[in-house]
């Protein structure tokens, strides 16, 4: 298979094409072709996971010099997860080039978030082995910026965890996140959640489920506490 089009999207031309091929080979394909001398992408995924983590961690550390460890950790988690990595994989059309077993092929494996995220990490592991950490870093930063926007401007969406950290740091106590109402018929129900801190309501949110409502309420609470949300 020719990889010229894919390499153009990646922004890197492999010297050792077998590394790219390995990065795109799912374990189900190997299981169905045991007579062939081929490797699945799990080892490369393991390596690429560490490379991506190192690149994004270093970038956040450098660009967000005033942020504390907790916030940096949360921002990294927003960037490095299956959803984000699979978006990058789709942007690169990695799914079109995967070697899958028949079962995964029939089960729409080329569109599965987990398979695409793993394939992206394997790809970065392959780039690292074929070149250097500096080159892999350049590739990762370009992909993340192209698909997710400026790395340092990523917004935190786990507002509940952030609120707990802020309250513990500022007030030495934790807020109460309480469901106070359920609105509408069973099939269209909305939940209303309050955030209470030191005896007063500092945030309220609504959502189709309790988690969504709680996140909305915690976001409002952070705003009422004048916490800067990017």
Please identify every residue annotated as catalytic: 49, 121
Q: How far apart are CA 173 and CA 196, in angstroms?
A: 11
What six digits make up the tokens of 222? 């952070």
Q: State residue 175 phi and psi, 5-degree precision.
A: -75, 160
Structure tokens at 146: 């192209």
Cβ neighbours of residue 214 under 8 Å, at least 6 residues apart? 160, 177, 193, 205, 207
Q: Contact, 88 vs 144, CB < 8 A?
A: yes
- 101 contacts 26 by C-beta, under 8 angstroms: yes
Distance (Å, rounded) from C-alpha 143 to C-alpha 78?
A: 15
- Torsion sign across C-alpha atoms 129, 130, 135, 138: negative
Q: How far apart are CA 148 and CA 85, in angstroms?
A: 10
Tokens of 56: 């994004």
Q: Decide: 143 and 61 in contact? Cβ < 8 Å.
A: no
């Amino acid at each position: 298979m020719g990889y010229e089009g894919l390499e153009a999207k990646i922004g890197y031309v492999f010297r050792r094409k077998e590394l790219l091929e390995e990065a795109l080979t799912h374990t189900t394909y190997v299981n169905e072709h045991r007579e062939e001398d081929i490797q699945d992408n799990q080892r490369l995924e393991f390596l690429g996971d560490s490379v991506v983590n190192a690149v994004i961690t270093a970038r956040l550390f450098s660009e967000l010099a005033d942020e504390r460890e907790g916030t940096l950790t949360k921002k990294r988690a927003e960037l490095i997860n299956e959803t984000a990595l699979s978006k990058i994989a789709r942007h690169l059309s990695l799914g079109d080039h995967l070697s899958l077993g028949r079962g995964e092929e029939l089960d729409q494996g080329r569109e599965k978030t987990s398979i695409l995220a793993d394939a992206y990490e394997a790809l970065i592991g392959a780039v690292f082995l074929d070149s250097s950490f500096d080159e892999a870093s350049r590739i990762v930063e370009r992909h993340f910026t192209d698909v997710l926007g400026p790395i340092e401007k990523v917004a935190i969406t786990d507002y509940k965890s952030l609120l707990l950290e802020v309250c513990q740091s500022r007030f030495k106590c934790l807020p109460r996140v309480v469901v106070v109402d359920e609105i509408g018929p069973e099939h269209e129900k909305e939940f209303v959640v309050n955030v209470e801190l030191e005896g007063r309501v500092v945030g309220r949110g609504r959502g189709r489920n309790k988690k969504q409502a709680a996140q909305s309420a915690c976001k409002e609470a952070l705003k009422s506490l004048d916490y800067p949300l990017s």
